[in-house]
Structure 1
Amino acid sequence: MRYLPLTDADRSAMLETIGAPDIDALFVDVPAEAQLDGPIRGLPMHASELAVERHMGRLAKQNLAAGDAPFFLGAGAYRHHVPASVDHIIQRGEFLTAYTPYQPEIAQGTLQMLFEFQSQVARLYGCDVANASMYDGSTGCWEAISMARRITRKKRAILSSGLHPHYVSVIKTMARFTGDEIQYTAPVMDAAPDYAAMLDAIDDDTNCVVVQYPDILGRIGDLSAIAEKAQAHKALLIAVVTEPVALGAIKSPGEMGADIVVGEGQSIGVGLQFGGPYLGLFATRQKYVRQMPGRLCGETVDAEGQRGFVLTLSTREQHIRREKATSNICTNSGLCALAFSVHMTLLGEKGLRALAAENHRLACVAADALAAVPGVTVLNDAFFNEFTIQIDGDAREVVRDLADKNILAGVSLGRLYPDEADLAGGLLVAITETTSEDDINALAASLKEALA
């Protein structure tokens, strides 16, 4: 394809049509500190291909890979073992270019895969129906709030203090353009989630309550009372799951009355990948299916009575009138959804439960080991594979100290909540099946030395 640059006259005509004085006016919502004021610093204006390869190689060597050190990072992105067969299958020619099928009924393999994926997500979440995936957990969370607004025709959303702050940031950014009222306060360092305050806040003006499960501090609570009160006020309960492996061990949100369940699917089949691409999961009750964003694949029979798959619902702006669309989501994370489905199929229900049990066992070993370190207190009464510890002082300094020793100790709450001084001593520690007991002992020993 040839590159056809616009002329100055073309740009002027386009700006005049949309009523913008100049190109800079298109970026007024981007904070000034996030905008470049010139060429990217550190990169030469021109270089040979060989020189670029060498330069990028030197930069890459500065990274500490997750598999090269004791690794305890989590907070919404988790290191799990992905079988080699997952990568083999998703690279097959039938799947590798699994983009949106514009003649969907011809792409029976893609449709069948998405149908199986939807079935797996619906069962995992305890819901009636799931869509063919979203971009990631955070944008899926906002789509759920938008869906709740369409259903209830109310604009006040209550966010749990335990909701991931990055998800909160996405929600607040989007709400600036829709007029939604967002109620949120940062968490406090308590052993259990503060559901009492949320229950008190629910009233007839509430359109939805958003609760993370397990929450950002690793705490696990019963959502049933929140679901009951929300529904009594004609509001919806939205549950957010950032670690889907947990649902192999704990009750699903749908079983506790959640109306919409969303979250991140990265843990199953998708590696950390430097932060993306990831996979948004979205499921709901059958009665709300026509308000669900994204696409829905269904099963049918053809004219000869043979089993077949079709694109059943496609409430997106590319396929219908824009004002009728439930979302501007114009595709799904097809290849990541395939990886999720392949990994889930290889595990099966028994394998997922065994994987979850091993995650929790190792997390308990780690919690006991860290609780024995002088100056460390484990916050949680209940957790799955992630918990919060409290130390005296700023946990960010401890994380940096241990990183210099090639131990990635966890995510400091001071990093997630830089404006909350009361959380500075919190450190979020995640354990998965890839964590060895030697890794745990190394973390405990290094923490003891750092806090001495």
Structure 2
Amino acid sequence: MRYLPLTQADRSAMLDRIGVSSIDDLFVDVPEEARLSGPIGGLPLHAGEMAVERHMQRLSRRNLAAGDAPFFLGAGAYRHHVPASVDHVIQRGEFLTAYTPYQPEIAQGTLQMLFEFQTQVARLYGCAVANASMYDGSTACWEAVAMAGRVTRRKRVVLSGALHPHYAEVVRTMAKFTDDEIADALPSLQGTPDNEGLIARIDDETSCVVVQYPDILGRIPDLGAIAEAAHAKGALLVAVNTEPVALGAIKSPGELGADIVVGEGQAIGVGLQFGGPYLGLFAVRDARHARQMPGRLCGETVDAEGKRGFVLTLSTREQHIRREKATSNICTNSGLCALAFSVHMTLLGEEGLRRLAACNHSLACEAADRLAQIPGVELLNDSFFNEFTLRLGTDARQVVRRLADDGVLAGVSLGRLFPGVDALEDGLLVAVTETTTREDIETLASALQEALA
């Protein structure tokens, strides 16, 4: 295929048609500090291939990889062991290049995998129906909000203060184009979530309440009580889960009354990968709401000869149907990541997931008890799964930087997640998984005690 670049006349005609004077006008919504003012720093404008490779290798050596240091980062992206067989399967040629099955009759393997993936997600979340995946947890969160608006025909959205701030920011950004009213808040550094305060914010105009489970501080909110309060006002409960391994130890959101359950599937089968690609999960408890779900649904059927087969039962994205009838235009599924999730989940099985969850929780309890012994350190949580919050009594960002310089990735500072909020700046979010050793815990404890001395 020949590459035919646009001429300046072509560009001018396109810009004129959409009513802007320059390409820069298309990026006015991106904050100026986030835009490049020139070429990427440090890269030469012209260089040979070997020179570029050497330059990139030098840059890569400046990174501290997750497996090269005691690692306690979490906040929505978790380091878990991914069996080698997962990578082996997803790199098979029939899977590696698979994208949208536009001709389902010749994509039976892909469709079967997605069907089984949907079944796994629905069971994990305690729901009736799950879709064939989405981009990531944050965009899935917004899609849940948009779906709740379609179902309830309301425009007011109540966000828990303990929702991941990046997820909340995606919701606020997208709501600018839909005129939804976003009622958000900030978390308070207390041992248990403020369930009563959240419930008090629900009114007769609320379309949905969005709650993270476990929340951004690692606490476990009372979804049952929140669901009951939301339903009493005619609103839906959207539960967000960023650590699916937790659902091997705590009740599923659907079981507790959540109407829409979304989350990030990265923790199962997908490595950290410097932030992506990741995997959005989306499910609904009531099958009657399936028609309002974004994305695709794969279904099981039989062919003309009565043999088992798979089809795209529902595809509600703007590529497939009339744009005005589409539920979403950002709902491309993450097919390869969904495959990795499904392979890993199949290898684990229900018993394996429960054992993995128990291992995570046990190690996290050991770490919390050890770190709480350090003078000046306070354990915030009354309960948690594998992630908890410490109060350090000083700016946690400075502590995290100092420990990183010493080769210890101590966690995520709340000051980084909530910049400018003084009441949260001494909070440190610590995540512990099965990849954490007791030696790692002791290394963190020693380094943290020295840093706070």
Q: 1:318, 1:330 within 8 Å by CA — same for their partners in 2?
A: no
- In the alignment, does 2:422 pair up with 1:421? yes
Q: Which amino acid in 2 is paired with 1:99?
A: Y
Q: Which amino acid in 2 is paired with 1:302?
A: D
- In the alignment, does 2:386 pair up with 1:385? yes
State the secondary structure of the residue aligned to 2:177.
helix
Structure 2 equivalent of residue 23 of structure 1: 23
Q: Which amino acid in 1 is paired with 2:336?
A: L
Inter-partner Cα distance in structure 2 for 1:123 and 1:345? 13
- In the alignment, does 2:82 pair up with 1:85? no
State the secondary structure of the residue aligned to 1:177.
coil
Segments of structure 2 that go 5 or more residues without pairing to the other structure are: none
Q: Which amino acid in 2 is paired with 1:387?
A: F
- In the alignment, does 2:57 pair up with 1:51? no
Inter-partner Cα distance in structure 1 for 2:299 and 2:348? 24
Inter-partner Cα distance in structure 1 for 2:427 and 2:222? 24
Inter-partner Cα distance in structure 2 for 1:155 and 1:22? 34
**Deviation by residue 1:44-74 (Cα, 9 ceiling, x = unmatched):** 1111111111110000001111001100000
Structure 2 equivalent of residue 125 of structure 1: 125
State the secondary structure of the residue aligned to 2:12.
helix
State the secondary structure of the residue aligned to 2:434.
coil
Structure 2 equivalent of residue 33 of structure 1: 33
Inter-partner Cα distance in structure 2 for 1:58 and 1:38? 22
**Deviation by residue 1:349-406 (Cα, 9 ceiling, x = unmatched):** 0000000000000000000100111111100000000000001110111111111110
State the secondary structure of the residue aligned to 2:283.
strand
Structure 1 equivalent of residue 312 of structure 2: 311
Segments of structure 1 that go 5 or more residues without pairing to the other structure are: none
Q: Which amino acid in 2 is paired with 1:230?
A: A
Written as runs of structure 1 = structure 2, the 5 A alignment for 1:323-338 is: 323-329=324-330, 331-338=332-339
Q: 2:195, 2:222 within 8 Å by CA — same for their partners in 1?
A: no
Following TM superposition, the consecutive aligned residue runs of length 4 or more in structure 1 with deviations greater than 3 angstroms are: none
Structure 2 equivalent of residue 242 of structure 1: 242
Displacement of 1:422 after TM fit? Answer: 0.7
- In the alignment, does 2:13 pair up with 1:13? yes
Structure 2 equivalent of residue 138 of structure 1: 138
Inter-partner Cα distance in structure 2 for 1:23 and 1:65? 37
Structure 1 equivalent of residue 377 of structure 2: 376
Inter-partner Cα distance in structure 1 for 2:105 and 2:194? 48
Inter-partner Cα distance in structure 1 for 2:102 and 2:270? 25
Inter-partner Cα distance in structure 1 for 2:38 and 2:220? 47
Inter-partner Cα distance in structure 2 for 1:105 and 1:158? 43
Structure 2 equivalent of residue 63 of structure 1: 63
Inter-partner Cα distance in structure 2 for 1:421 and 1:198? 22
Q: 1:317, 1:330 within 8 Å by CA — same for their partners in 2?
A: no
Inter-partner Cα distance in structure 2 for 1:203 and 1:328? 30
Displacement of 1:2 after TM fit? Answer: 2.1
Q: Which amino acid in 1 is paired with 2:122?
A: A
Structure 2 equivalent of residue 268 of structure 1: 268
Q: Which shifted more, 325-334 or 49-58?
A: 325-334
Written as runs of structure 1 = structure 2, the 5 A alignment for 1:190-229 is: 190-229=190-229
Structure 2 equivalent of residue 405 of structure 1: 406
RMSD across aligned C-alpha pairs, in angstroms?
A: 0.8
**Deviation by residue 1:6-59 (Cα, 9 ceiling, x = unmatched):** 111111111111111222211111111112222222211111111111110000
Displacement of 1:331 after TM fit? Answer: 2.4
Displacement of 1:330 after TM fit? Answer: 5.1
Structure 1 equivalent of residue 4 of structure 2: 4
Structure 2 equivalent of residue 344 of structure 1: 345
Q: Which amino acid in 2 is paired with 1:388?
A: T
Seq. identity, %: 76
Give the TM-score, by structure 1 length: 0.99
**Deviation by residue 1:241-288 (Cα, 9 ceiling, x = unmatched):** 000000000000000100000000000000000000000000002010
Give the TM-score, by structure 2 length: 0.99
**Deviation by residue 1:321-360 (Cα, 9 ceiling, x = unmatched):** 0100000035210000000000000000000000000000
Q: How many equivalent pairs are there? A: 452
- In the alignment, does 2:296 pair up with 1:295? yes
